[in-house]
């Protein structure tokens, strides 16, 4: 374990590292539909790029999680940030070649697919090393707060990224993407200078709950991992569809649509960040209560997106979504990493950090397919998916509570 005086510095550095990549991802998701329309690519082309890179990212996080356990979290975090910087430059350059007419059609699509996939291979080292570091230096009781302190960078990035993209998009659709390279390089320098080296996990005594081995044998951690996947699948469907929805329903130009997507994502991220700083990180309610509250809020948000016909209702739905997401991921991640045996720690951490990518494997192509039938249908499907996830999670949490109550008299 690190000295107590070093802990705040560690969380700040990890936060900044994930913030840089989160801003980059937010900028990419904000501008991608508009860049696709500008380059005359279809919704399926964009969905395939997102889904394929997410599949590679999901595989990569599991591999890098195990590598980080042996090689050290700081070293692998630096590898991930380096890969993100180089990959973003290559991806933006492929778009530039398409906009200039140097390549087009299938050749452009393949160049984008290859560059984004190669980027995902290396940048997938960043989340498991950052979250793994946070888990390794936290107790079971403080794990929700520790994970939230690191992953709240995603919400800050979703606030900064769209505004950042909106400011720079006037200089060209690729200006925000190229500038992200400098941001991630600065994060790499910060990690190199300020982040303490932590001994590999195999050399540490990780604190776990007393009944973790029994709960792990019932495979309960995987229920929370699956719930996380469903949460991000629904979000991926929304993000894949929202930019095109602004263009086709509200008849906005690609640049205006990118700005509106940015504003909507900022609204969601602001609500998410607020709930994390005021509730989640203060540990005012348990992770089980957060899960029980967050999932219904998410189902309601996607239902409102399906029913909305004005900007006001759309932004209200995005704010509700932010409240749900702000509680859902840290609570589900903490539940998964708490209810597991010590030998499962690295694999569960790898899986939980891969859930975002796993959701994006299925979400974009599914949304692109049903978008052709009805442009609002992806939101309805997302709401249904979260509602089913909520029911399964409630049953699981009730089982955990009953098991705990049954074991208490036996211990006495």
102 to 49, 111, 115, 399: CA distances (angstroms): 20, 12, 16, 59
Q: First vs last Cα of the chain: how many Å apart?
A: 32
Helix or strand (DSSP H, E) at 5: none
Q: Are 237 and 378 in contact (CB under 8 A)?
A: yes
The pLDDT tens digits of the residues spanning 357-397 come to 788 788 888 888 898 889 899 999 999 999 999 999 999 88
120 to 44, 51, 54, 86: CA distances (angstroms): 19, 11, 7, 11
pLDDT at 70: 82
Q: Are 147 and 334 in contact (CB under 8 A)?
A: yes
pLDDT at 210: 42
- Separation between Cα atoms, residue 98 and residue 251, nearest integer Å: 25
Phi and psi (nearest 5°) for 218? Answer: -90, 5
pLDDT at 284: 67
pLDDT at 216: 41
What single-letter DSSP state applies at residue 197? Answer: P
Helix or strand (DSSP H, E) at 2: none
pLDDT at 207: 44
Indicate whether this model's pTM tops 0.75: no
Provide the token pair at 148.
Answer: 């939230």
Domain assignments of the chain as residue spans, ordered by start? 4-195+209-411
Reported as half-sphere exposure (CB side, CA atoms, 13 A), residue 105 has a value of 1
> Any idea which residue has 């249908």 for tokens?
377
Helix or strand (DSSP H, E) at 102: none
- Separation between Cα atoms, residue 5 and residue 7, nearest integer Å: 6
Give the residue ranges of DSSP H helices in 250-376.
254-275, 287-307, 311-338, 345-371
Provide the token pair at 41.
Answer: 């690519």
Reported as half-sphere exposure (CB side, CA atoms, 13 A), residue 272 has a value of 30
Low-confidence spans in the chain with pLDDT less than 70 = 1-6, 140-141, 143-144, 151, 155, 158-159, 199-218, 283-284, 341-346, 404-412
122 to 128, 148, 161, 285: CA distances (angstroms): 12, 24, 22, 36
- Separation between Cα atoms, residue 208 and residue 143, nearest integer Å: 10
237 to 33, 40, 345, 362: CA distances (angstroms): 13, 21, 30, 8
Number of C-beta neighbours around residue 292 at 10 A? 18
- Separation between Cα atoms, residue 138 and residue 100, nearest integer Å: 50
The domain defined by 4-195+209-411 folds into: Growth Hormone; Chain: A; (1.20.1250)
Q: How far is CA 224 from the centre of its chain?
A: 15
Q: Are 159 and 23 in contact (CB under 8 A)?
A: no
pLDDT at 83: 93
């Amino acid at each position: 374990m690190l000295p107590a005086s070093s802990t705040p510095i560690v969380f700040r550095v990890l936060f900044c590292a994930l913030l840089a990549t989160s801003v980059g991802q937010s900028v990419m998701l904000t501008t991608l539909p508009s860049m696709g329309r500008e380059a005359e690519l279809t919704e399926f082309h964009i969905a395939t790029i997102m889904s394929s890179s997410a599949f590679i990212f999901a595989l990569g996080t599991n591999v890098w999680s195990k590598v980080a356990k042996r090689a050290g979290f700081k070293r692998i975090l630096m590898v991930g940030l380096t890969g993100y910087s180089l990959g973003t430059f290559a991806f933006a350059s492929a778009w530039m070649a398409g906009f200039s007419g140097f390549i087009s059609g299938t050749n452009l699509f393949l160049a984008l697919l290859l560059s984004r996939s190669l980027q995902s291979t290396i940048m997938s080292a960043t989340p498991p090393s950052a979250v793994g570091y946070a888990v390794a230096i936290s107790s079971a009781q403080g794990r929700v707060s520790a994970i939230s302190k690191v992953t709240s960078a995603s919400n800050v990035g979703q606030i900064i990224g769209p505004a950042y993209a909106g400011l720079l998009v006037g200089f060209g659709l690729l200006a925000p993407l190229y500038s992200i390279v400098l941001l991630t390089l600065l994060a790499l320098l910060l990690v190199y200078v300020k982040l303490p080296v932590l001994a590999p996990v195999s050399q540490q005594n990780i604190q776990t709950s007393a009944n973790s081995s029994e709960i792990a044998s019932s495979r309960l951690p995987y229920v929370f991992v699956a719930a996380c996947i469903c949460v991000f699948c629904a979000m991926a469907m929304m993000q894949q569809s929202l930019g095109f929805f602004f263009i086709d329903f509200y008849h906005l130009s690609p640049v205006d649509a990118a700005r509106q997507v940015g504003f909507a994502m900022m609204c969601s991220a602001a609500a998410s960040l607020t709930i994390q700083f005021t509730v989640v990180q203060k540990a005012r309610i348990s992770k089980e209560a957060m899960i029980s509250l967050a999932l219904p809020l998410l189902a309601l948000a996607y239902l409102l997106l399906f029913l909305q016909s004005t900007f006001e209702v759309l932004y209200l739905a995005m704010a509700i979504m932010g409240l749900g997401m702000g509680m859902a991921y840290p609570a589900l991640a903490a539940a998964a990493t708490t209810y597991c045996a010590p030998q499962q720690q690295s694999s569960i951490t790898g899986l939980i950090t891969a859930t975002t990518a796993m959701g994006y494997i299925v979400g974009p192509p599914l949304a692109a397919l049903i978008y052709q039938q009805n442009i609002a249908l992806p939101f309805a499907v997302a709401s249904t998916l979260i509602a089913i996830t909520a029911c399964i999670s409630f049953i699981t949490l009730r089982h955990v509570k009953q098991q705990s109550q049954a074991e208490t008299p036996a211990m006495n």
